[in-house]
Each structure stands twice: as structure tokens, then as C-alpha cells.
Structure 1
Amino acid sequence: MAAQNLAPVIIKKKKVVGGDGHHGGAWKVAYADFVTAMMAFFMLMWLLNATTEKQRKGLADYFTPTIPVNRISGGGDGAFGGTSTLSETILPQSGTGGMVALPLPPGTPNDPSAQDASGKDEEEFGKIEEALLGLGGESFEANELLKHIVTKVTDEGLVIEIFETQTAFLFEQDGLTPTDLLVAIAEVLVPMFDLVTNGVAVEAHVRMQPIVARTDRTWEASLGQSQSMRQLLVEEELDSARIKRVVGHADRELVSPNPLDRRNNRLEVILLRSD
């Protein structure tokens, strides 16, 4: 048999690379950064819409550095320009971020000027009340006057209530002429009112008329008495320009369970608040 010419067997190994082979994973890092940035962006949008101005300022203060990045703002658009998304003016980056406090309209409850005026009123009202209480013990006449006076501080101001008793009246039989008692009270009040510049209101209340009365004259009576008290204060040299209101309430605001009780006959002289 003839010898066979055998060719050498050569084995080739091919390295097959698939389409989804490893590319280093850099795209995953970039994608994760993108997702994180988007989440932070939407979180910011939600916070801006779900929080109050005070809360936003608190958040801004938390993330604002306490050490200035640049001592003086150049007013530019760069990193050191001093601008902020919450600021309405260009400010140095001095750790005081957040919204700029704008002046509030006069009379606003949170207005510092209104709060200062209210505090001043409270202090002055307290001094006048102390002065009235201090009259007690000075003389028998002063003690008798204090029996007809009650004071209280309300949202409107310092209310000084002057009332009748069963034996001591504020007006004569005609219902309009002040008695000596009311004149003496006015002589005490006006010098105390001169210690402040607040406006004054005068209001009158009367007791209910008996049913047998043919016509209800409580409105005319209360208005006439408030006008008489206003005139009496002016005669005692209270500046008439300070009197802002004169009102008669008739028998609509009784203080005694008995509508015919003379305790319901009373005057209210009110030192109004400055605001």
C-alpha cells in the first residue's frame, strides 16, 4: 500500500465578540448622574411650590455658606456676582441668602411699625389706669368718683366706663345736663388724656324705658347724652380735633339683668389705639 501524504491539522480559535459586550460601564455612571440631577431638579420645583416664603428662606439659609465667597459683589452674572434665585437685589455672598424683606403696608398685623405703636399704646394705657387707681385714698371725693369708673383694654383701645348707681346719677332730670358727679369725673379724665395724643370716642348707653311709655326715646336720649359728654370734655379743654366718634347705643347693650336698672345708664370714653 502506498503511503498516504497526511497534511498537518491546524486548529484555529476565533474569539467571537457579541454585540452586547462590555464597554467599560461609563454610560451607566453618566446615566446615574443624569437621573440624580433630574430628581434633584423636580425636588427643587416641588419645594418651591409646596413651601412658604419663610420656609424657603430657612432652606436658603441652611445651604448658604457662612463664610463670604466674595467680600464685595461686582453685580455680574458670574459665580461671584452675588445673585440668587430667591433674592430680589444683587447682594454679596455673605451667608444671608433668601428673600429680601419688603416693607409691609401700614396697619398690617406683622408690620413692625404697627407692633411698635401697639406696644406704646399698651404702655400708655397702663399708666393712665395706674393714675386712676392712684386717686383712691387721696380723698373721700376721689373714692366716690372711682365707684363710678371701670376700665378695660380692648382691641379698640382703653375703655373708661362711667356708670350711674341707684343714688348717684350722671345727668339731671332732663337727661342732658351733666350732674356735678359727671363734671368732676371729666375734670379728672381730661388732664390724663393730655398725657397722650390718641383719638377719643364717646359712646352712651341708657336703660330700657318702661312699657307704659308711648314712644321709645332711648335712641334720642343716648345720642344726646354722648353729645353732652363730648361738649363737657371740650369745655374741660380737651382738643376737639381728637374726638373721632360720638355714638348713642340706646338700650341695645344692657349690662344688668334688670333692663330698668340704672346701672345700664353709662358712658364709655375710649382712648383709641394709634393704628
Structure 2
Amino acid sequence: MGADSNVAPVIIRKKKRQSGGHGHHGGAWKVAYADFVTAMMAFFMLMWLLNATTEEQRKGIADYFSPTIPIARVSGGGDGALAGDTVFAERNRPRMGTGGGRQEAQTAPASDDGREAPVLDAALQSLEEALIGQGGESRVPDRLMRHVVTRVTDEGLVIELFSLPDAPLYDAQGPTATLRTLAGIVARAAGLVENGVAVEAHVRAAPVVLARSRPWEDSADRAQSLRRLLERGGMSPDRMRRVTGHADRTPAVSDPMAARNDRFEVIFLRGAPG
């Protein structure tokens, strides 16, 4: 026997792969499945949004994602100051006191019914510009601008003052300091024109469980309170044409109990001054 006879033989085992087996496919199927689940979730969220939103809100969402228009010219879609209402396409031509991109007056855009939106005369336009700061310094401080919206109607220039959840204009004690300040600003600005004035007040709806609800009386009392504040601020009583309370019949937003529905309107009427 040779010297290498004690070396163990090397055994090589070959594993035969069975025919017909599927083997290991890796994790690619998990990625495909995750994409499918994500797509289904997005689909169901889309269906829910279509069912849970109004037509105005859907227009606002569509305008937000439109790549061709930097500012939505059709609708707001939200529940803030404009409450999802249109900014340009209503029967009037509103201008926000804040956050709305102040624009110089040009040709009047058409309203929803195809008619030309009303246009202010030079005197009322100067009053609006002084209040919201178009082309210059606003008479309303920035902290109060969020309570103010101006718009143009067939009747004249409407200055709307509205409550916010964290800053009411009227409470159980009467006009708040915010409303008193705003009334003083409007009264002083009213000296720029001689037009007649109308004061209107709206209140939000009360819960049905409220034992005693007086929306008509409350809105009338609030309108009279604002009239007195305007006259105290320097507006001549002879300019007052009407003082009206509208109760809770014309809410500004879809939720009738929202704080936004507590609001006042000071209307500078068209026509002969005074």
C-alpha cells in the first residue's frame, strides 16, 4: 500500500433539482400587491370625497390643482371667509379684505346668469379702495381685516363684517370691542362719500333644543346697535335709509349654526348722495 492510502476519499454530492418545481420568486409580488392596495384606497377615498362634498367645493378642489390658473377664478371650495362661494362668478363682484389678492378694477366680469356684474361709480370705488387698501394703505388694521369682505351689488357697495369662532362681533353683553373698532373705521371712511346707508344684521341659527330663540328680535337689535355705533363714530343720522334684521334666514355658509353667519352689512347705496 502506498503512503497516500490513509487519505479519505473526497465525495462530491450533486443535488438534483426536481422538474416541475416553482422555486423561490423573491418579494416582487409584495410590491405589486402594495401598489394595488394603495390604488384601491385612493379610489375609495375619491368616491368618498365625491359623495361628501358640494358642487362648489369640488370646483374649488379642481381649480386648486389646475396648472393653468394661479388664482381660482371660479370657486373657493373652502369653508373659510368665503365659505366655498365663488369669488368672481356670483351675481356680485366681491373683494376680500384679506387673503384674496387685491386686484385693480378693470372690466366687470360676467355673473352666473350672463349679465355684466355691477360696477361702482368713482366715489364708492374710492371708498372701497380706502377700506381694503387697494393701491395704498388700508384703513383697517391687519388684525381686523379677517372680519371684512367688500362686494359690489346692484344696490351699491356692501361692507360685510362677520364673526369668527375665536373672535365674535356680538355677545351677551352687546357689541364687542372688535365690532366697536370696525364700526368706527367704517364711520370715518364714510366721510369720503355722501351716499345713503343701509344697515343689516344676520344671526346664526340656534339649536332646536334651545328653550328660547329670538332670531328676529336679536338681528333687529344688533342692526340698531351697529347704527348707533356708526352715528357715534361720526356718520350723520340723515344718511340712514333703513335698518333691517334678517334673523337666521340667509346663512352665509352651509352650517346654519356656524359663527360666520353672525354678520353685519353696511351698504352704501347707489344714487343721489344723502
With the length of structure 2 as denominator, give the TM-score of the two structures. Answer: 0.53
Partners of 2:200 and 2:135 in 1: how far apart?
Answer: 25
2:208 aligned partner:
211
Paired residue for 1:273?
270
- 1:243 corresponding residue in structure 2: 240
Provide structure 2 residue ranges, at least 5 long, that are not aligned to the other structure.
Answer: 1-117
Distance in 2 of aligned mates of 1:158 and 1:125: 7
What stretches of structure 1 move > 3 A for 4+ residues in a row? 135-139
Query: Over residues 149-180 of structure 1, what are the superposed CA-to-partner deviations in whole Å (9 max), with x where a residue is unaligned?
Result: 00011110100000000000111323xx2111
Identify if the C-alpha distance between structure 1 residues 137 and 262 changes in structure 2 by more than 3 Å, giving closer, same or farther: farther
- In structure 2, C-alpha distance between the alignment counterparts of 1:271 and 1:244, rounded to whole Å: 10
- 8 Å contact from structure 2 (residues 200, 266) kept in 1: yes
Give aligned-pair identity as a percent: 45
1:145, 1:124 → 2: CA distance? 24
Deviations 1:94-145 (A, max 9, x none): xxxxxxxxxxxxxxxxxxxxxxxx98x5211211111112289969x80111
SS of alignment partner, residue 250 of structure 1: coil
Instruction: Structure 1 unaligned segments of length 5 or more: list them.
Output: 1-117
Distance 1:152 1:257 in 2: 20
| Alignment match, 1:261 | 258
Superposed displacement of residue 146, structure 1: 1.1
Give the aligned partner of residue 147 of structure 2.
148
Equivalence for 1:170:
169
The match for 1:197 is: 194
Tell me the alpha carbon deviations over residues 249-271 of structure 1, each in whole angstroms, 9 at most, x when there is no partner: 00000011111100000000000
What pairs with 1:106-121 in structure 2 (closer than 5 Å)?
none
Give the number of the structure whose alpha-carbon radius of gyration is greater: 1
Residues in 2 aligned to 1:135 and 1:230: alpha-carbon distance in whole angstroms = 26
Task: Give the AA of the match of 1:159.
Answer: V
Q: Which secondary structure does the structure 1 equivalent of 2:158 belong to?
A: strand
**How far apart, in 2, do the equivalents of 1:173 and 1:204 lie?**
16
Query: Which amino acid is the alignment partner of residue 207 of structure 1?
Result: R
Tell me the CA shift for residue 215 of structure 1. 3.2
